[in-house]
Structure 1
Amino acid sequence: MRLPVLVFDIETLTDLKSGAHLYGLDLPEGDLEQALTKLRRQESGSDFQRLPLHEIVCISGLWVDEKAEMKLFSFSREHNSEAEILQKFFSIFQKRNPTLVSWNGSQFDLPVILFRAMYHGLSAPSLFDQGEIDSQKRYNNYQNRYHHRHIDLMDIMAMFNGRNFQKLDDIAHLLGYPGKRGPASYLIPEYVRNQQWLEMTSYCEGDVLNTWLVYLRFLLLKGQILPEDHRLWIQATIHYLQGQPQQKEFLQVWQTTSKQTDFTASDFETIQPPDIQY
């Protein structure tokens, strides 16, 4: 495993102001969202909005450093504008060049971040440089799907074939991890509308944690970590989350779902403080 690692995920809403500008609509806010949804259905047959119209309301991440220390964090609209959320995220790359890990990050998260950064007139060469500034990034940058600086697990595990794409929720649950908790519907608009910031960040962080756990299993598959290393990383993750009150439910669900596969059945039997040496 190439450390440090940053596993990340974003949550978004439809940017009604930009949508109204793009389509030349002059409607009350309540009608505007319905109109944009109808237009999108006519364009694509889907409610899923164009990427540039996804306004970022939260970016969550799990940072794992060279000492195997973990830090789960979220930048959200509770305290920051969209531009400030992006600036905080970009500042990570100004200081370090982590291995970036995502689920569908190459087709959704990073393109949305790119469009929204341009919308706000932000600069992020540490993330988007492809060798024009740092010549080494010509051969290993965050945009190229076949490079290893950004590992989009959905893309890689599908062997870069869109017909094989799977949902993070399904794969995590299949492997003995929590997947989504609670209702199946997408609750981010409701969380923002009701200012339920803790629920929103916990939701986003849950996707980050599921991605991290799938990533560990993928590294084991590839032989990049040994079975004993995998066990220690799982123990370290559980130990860390025991000190994170907002992820109490994630741990409880994980303890239940881990019993569903032989490989994960012993994950919670003996939790010891981690002793990972690198």
Structure 2
Amino acid sequence: VLVLRALKYNLKAATYLDTQSDKWNNYKTRFSELKHCDLLESLGSNGRGIKLDTLCSMVGLPGKYDVHGDEVMKLFYENELEKIHEYCESDVLNTYMLFLKYEFIKANVSEEDYIDFLSYMRDFLRVKKSDRSYTEVFAKACESEISKVRS
């Protein structure tokens, strides 16, 4: 999609299309994490097809706690758009927490920064998203993760 958009609008995409450097470490190389990271590919050993919910459950993150993907169509036809909205936001939070954890174990994020990112997320949720059904689930997950790192 990126290349097609670049072609359509005559946008320069030199970084994305870089084939002059190391052929195994550029943006288009599937297994390289130098310029991009497909989290599910990386954690699923490049093709095992592990679901986000499964990965989150395995590492102690909330995962799906209320709505599951197979319920979205039914919710849509019942005009439960707010529930779908919260479901999508909770997926983003799971992905973010999983990504942070992955970057932490790769030593790309220091212990101090990891705790700071989780603390910020917890505080943001409690202040800006206090009306969401997932707020306390994820805020407590942040606190739990911080406790694990500190102990």
Aligned to 2:21: none
Q: Aligned partners of 2:119 and 2:142: how far apart in 1?
A: 13
Q: Are residue 225 (structure 1) and residue 117 (structure 2) matched?
A: no
Contact 2:118/2:146 (CA < 8 Å) preserved in 1? no
Q: Aligned partners of 1:255 and 1:241: how far apart in 2?
A: 7
1:151 equivalent among 37, 42, 56 = 37
The one-character-per-residue Cα deviations of 1:119-138 (angstroms, maximum 9, x if unpaired) are xxxx6329x99xx9422222
SS at match of 2:37: strand
Q: Are residue 266 (structure 1) and residue 147 (structure 2) matched?
A: yes
Q: Aligned partners of 1:256 and 1:235: how far apart in 2?
A: 11
Q: Are residue 124 (structure 1) and residue 5 (structure 2) matched?
A: yes
The one-character-per-residue Cα deviations of 1:135-183 (angstroms, maximum 9, x if unpaired) are 2222344x542354432111012232x23x3221122123222110125
How far 1:265 sits from its partner (Å)? 6.4
SS at match of 2:145: coil
Give, as a single letter, the amino acid of the residue that structure 2 aligns with 1:135.
A
Structure 2: stretches of 5+ with no match in the other structure = 19-25
- The RMSD of aligned alpha carbons is 3.1
1:183-194 superposed matches below 5 A:
184=68, 186-194=70-78
Identify the structure with the greater helix proportion: 2
Aligned to 1:86: none
Aligned to 1:171: 55
Q: Aligned partners of 1:144 and 1:192: how far apart in 2?
A: 37
How far 1:190 sits from its partner (Å)? 1.3
Distance verdict in 2 for CA 1:197–1:245, change over 3 Å: farther
1:1-278 superposed matches below 5 A:
114=1, 124-125=5-6, 133-139=12-18, 140-141=26-27, 144-145=29-30, 146=32, 148-160=34-46, 162-163=47-48, 165-182=49-66, 184=68, 186-242=70-126, 243-247=128-132, 249-255=133-139, 264=145, 266=147
How far 1:246 sits from its partner (Å)? 4.7
Give, as a single letter, the amino acid of the residue that structure 1 aligns with 2:119.
Q
Aligned-pair identity in percent equals: 21
Q: Aligned partners of 2:76 and 2:88: how far apart in 1?
A: 13
Q: Aligned partners of 2:141 and 2:33: how far apart in 1?
A: 33
Identify the structure with the greater strand proportion: 1
How many aligned positions are there? Answer: 136
Q: Aligned partners of 2:145 and 2:33: how far apart in 1?
A: 30
Q: TM (normalized to structure 1)?
A: 0.42
How far 1:197 sits from its partner (Å)? 1.3
Q: Aligned partners of 1:257 and 1:240: how far apart in 2?
A: 14
Q: Aligned partners of 1:256 and 1:223: how far apart in 2?
A: 24
Distance verdict in 2 for CA 1:239–1:200, change over 3 Å: same
Q: Aligned partners of 2:35 and 2:66: how far apart in 1?
A: 33
Larger RCO (CA under 8 A, 6+ residues apart): 1
Structure 1: stretches of 5+ with no match in the other structure = 1-113, 115-122, 268-278
Q: TM (normalized to structure 2)?
A: 0.73
Q: Aligned partners of 1:258 and 1:216: how far apart in 2?
A: 11
The structure that has the greater radius of gyration is 1
Give, as a single letter, the amino acid of the residue that structure 1 aligns with 2:16.
K
